[in-house]
Chain A
């Protein structure tokens, strides 16, 4: 038990270190912008005085290292700075009216929306892919197995927006079952929210189910050749029971791992899908900010995405250690 805690702590420390280095990379990348923020905000009509005022206001006259630690320090406390796009620029030049939107205010509700979308997707995708994987392993090399194989390979390799538009065509335009636009706002009832989230969630499900299902199938089939499964078969247990009771528990480690990795993949997939369905999530915000070069928001979104990605990879790592006694007690 002692060693398990030590391993987990080690991994956590490593994850934090990675996140720290990633934040340096993001900060450096953003600081490679030609000119500086002040000129980026004001564009062509920049007067030297205005540029100077903004530089002072944003602390851009400080050396980069000081600025980095200030940014990191306030980011850790949840203050991600002010958004350029919604800032009141007049306040920078003349009297400060104090009207400014912080990045945190912009991100918080959208982050919740994205988490909701990811959760709905996971709730559909995980059981479906486990079931399909078990069935494909049970009826391996049958028509069912081949059809699932080809279908999942197709859905893995199609771009997200293709799947999204095909779903829109069939489920929203031709048979108006679900809404094609996910305009979610505060104060919606849960069922209404779920209905609007369902189409993007289904698209993401199609993308991630394939990976998980193929991995489940491969992990189970790998085990089927082992002697103890032979034993179970000779005892006369039904094939379904052999797989669910005997093979599945030992196949869980790779399956859990691949589920966590796919949830990490969801984070990238979410960007395109949110744009297609105009879903008010963090991915949509990120793309909009990229287009108008709203640097603080881009920086913050990037950091959040990276943090979630690292966290889920870490989770996959820890879970696979926990589920494998050989890794749990290293020599």
Chain B
């Protein structure tokens, strides 16, 4: 009750502050238009923003440990978040500056028009791709390597139960968590990428086929896709995974293969819709008519005439689909039916270390483990979404 009362009092104070700000501004600047026409809401927003900013700065410089020696976890997490935010902003800025100086004329121009969020997205995608490709060299240990020490705490400080050999500690059967986090990039991202490619191959070719041939094939495929899309995709994937797990039996790797196929088929329905819609617009063009009159075959029509003209919308869709597939796989793994051990994977890591979050008040670093794996998933999807958002914005030519 008292917290609610304090909150209300603070809001009233800010409202008063906003009014004072506007009034003082009007008086000080001799009724300049900026203050004269300022709605009350805007003044309120400015004061609220300034208060939040001041509070954040004050909170940021609070001591990280209280007098009795217990870590002040809230401050620790807040510092990490702010530091991460500032570092990523600086990295994105530097990366954009680098892109403006190095490269061909085309890429230079592209980087000049890029907002900071998009350059951050490109940077994240490149970093993830590098981590995934060179995981075997980057990781200090193998992903399946089991060490004698189990449940080593993160931090690498021997005095607090850590081990310099394992900077992020080990899990309950003694596998190095840092290595598993790095290998997770290879497995989770790699599998999601393969799945998306498969979905695009399936959905794209069927969609273009339906658009080119039309007639009964188009009808049959479109209705089938309608039905498949009427079932929520995560639910359908879970249902099919139940059956796949019965088929796979004890062969764990087979289940991963089934998962790739299942998710690719479910997702190809969305690609089919787009490819068919884009294809239908292209099929009516004169150059298709000309190619048909020349007597070109179906393969030539689809891959040499339609596909090159449909690349732009399909590419943006590829980014979105990849995010979606990636999140679906992560969710399935989190629920325990996705990528199977011994492969390291972020969704499973989150599930396995989720209960550590309850120790946040005593050891912030331990509590950060599940967030680290979940954050790794979030960071990539956020990055891809930033890039796609910018691409869509650019291609639509929207200024507002």
A contact set with B: CB distance below 8 Å:
18-19, 21-22, 25-26, 29-30, 32-34, 40, 139-141, 143-144, 150, 153-154, 156-162, 165-166, 168-170, 173-175, 180, 221, 224-225, 238-240, 264, 267-268, 271-272, 275-276, 286-287, 290-291, 293, 295, 298, 301-302, 305-306, 309-310, 313
Size of B's binding interface in residues, CB under 8 A: 56
Q: 1/0 per position for B330-342, CB-CB distance to A under 8 A? A: 1100111100000
Q: How far is the CA of A173 from the CA of B243 in the complex (A)?
A: 38
Residue of A nearest to B249 (CB): A34
Extra pairs beyond A272-B335, A287-B335 (8, CB < 8 Å): A21-B230, A159-B331, A159-B378, A161-B331, A165-B354, A169-B371, A170-B74, A287-B238
Tell me which of A30, A157, A175 contacts B378 (CB under 8 A): A157
With a cutoff of 8 Å between Cβ atoms, the chain B residues found around residue A306 in the complex are: 230-232, 235
Q: 1/0 contact trace for B227-253 toward A, CB 8 Å? A: 110111111101111110111000000
Which residues of chain A have C-beta atoms less than 8 A from B230's C-beta?
Answer: 18-19, 21-22, 306, 309-310, 313
Chain A: minimal CB distance from B227 (Å): 5
Give Cα distance in the complex from A22 to B330, angstroms.
26
- B residues within 8 Å of A by Cβ? 39, 41-42, 45, 49, 73-74, 77, 117, 226-228, 230-236, 238-243, 245-247, 323, 327, 330-331, 334-337, 350, 354, 357-358, 360-361, 367, 370-371, 374-375, 377-378, 381-382, 384-386, 389, 400
Asked whether, in the complex, the Cβ of A157 is within 8 Å of the Cβ of B335, the reply is no
- Contact A22–B227 (Cβ < 8 Å): yes
B232 with A157: CB separation less than 8 A: no
A165 touches B357 (CB 8 A): yes
Q: Which secondary structure dominates where chain A touches chain B? A: helix
Contact (Cβ within 8 A) A153 B370: no
Are A153 and B330 in contact, CB atoms less than 8 angstroms apart? no
**B39 x A238 contact (CB < 8 A):** yes
Give the docked Cα–Cα distance between A139 and B49 (Å). Answer: 15
Contact of B334 among A18, A272, A302 (CB under 8 A): A272
**Chain A residue, CB-CB nearest to B373:** A162
Jot down 6 A-B pairs with beta carbons below 8 A, ordered by A: A153-B386, A154-B382, A174-B73, A268-B233, A272-B234, A276-B354
Of chain B, the residue at the smallest CB distance from A135 is B41
State the CA gap A160–B32 with chains docked (Å): 47
Pick the contact of A169 from B77, B226, B228, B241 — CB < 8 Å?
A: B77
Q: How far is the CA of A261 from the CA of B223 in the complex (A)?
A: 21
**A153-B385, A169-B360 known; A293-B327 Cβ under 8 A:** no
Contact B381 A157 (CB under 8 A): yes
Which 3 A/B pairs are nearest by Cβ-Cβ distance?
A: A162-B374, A158-B378, A157-B381
Q: Which residues of B contact A268 (CB under 8 A)?
A: 232-235
Which of B39, B227, B360, B377 is in CB contact (< 8 Å) with A174? B360
Which residue of B has the minimal Cβ distance to A153? B385
Residue of A whose beta carbon sits closest to that of B374: A162
**Closest A residue to B381 using CB positions:** A157
Q: A165-B357, A291-B337 are in contact. Are A174 and B331 (CB under 8 A)?
A: no
B374: contacting residue among A25, A34, A161, CB under 8 A: A161
CA distance A276 to B331 in the complex (A): 11
Q: Is the CB of A290 within 8 A of B238?
A: yes
Tell me if A173 and B45 are in contact (CB < 8 A).
no
Cα of A188 to Cα of B49 in the assembled complex, Å: 40
Instruction: Note all chain A residues with C-beta closer than 8 A to B117.
Output: 150, 153
Known contacts A174-B361, A298-B239; is-contact A159 B247 (Cβ 8 Å): no
Contact (Cβ within 8 A) B73 A29 = no
Q: Which residues of B contact A272 (CB under 8 A)?
A: 234, 331, 334-335
On whether the beta carbons of B232 and A267 are closer than 8 Å, the reply is yes
| A302 cross-chain contacts in B, Cβ below 8 A | 231, 235-236, 239
- Report the minimal beta-carbon distance from A19 to chain B, rounded to whole angstroms: 8
| Contact residues in B for A32 (Cβ distance below 8 Å) | 243
Tell me the minimal C-beta distance from A264 to chain B in angstroms: 8
Bound-complex Cα distance A286 to B235 (A): 9
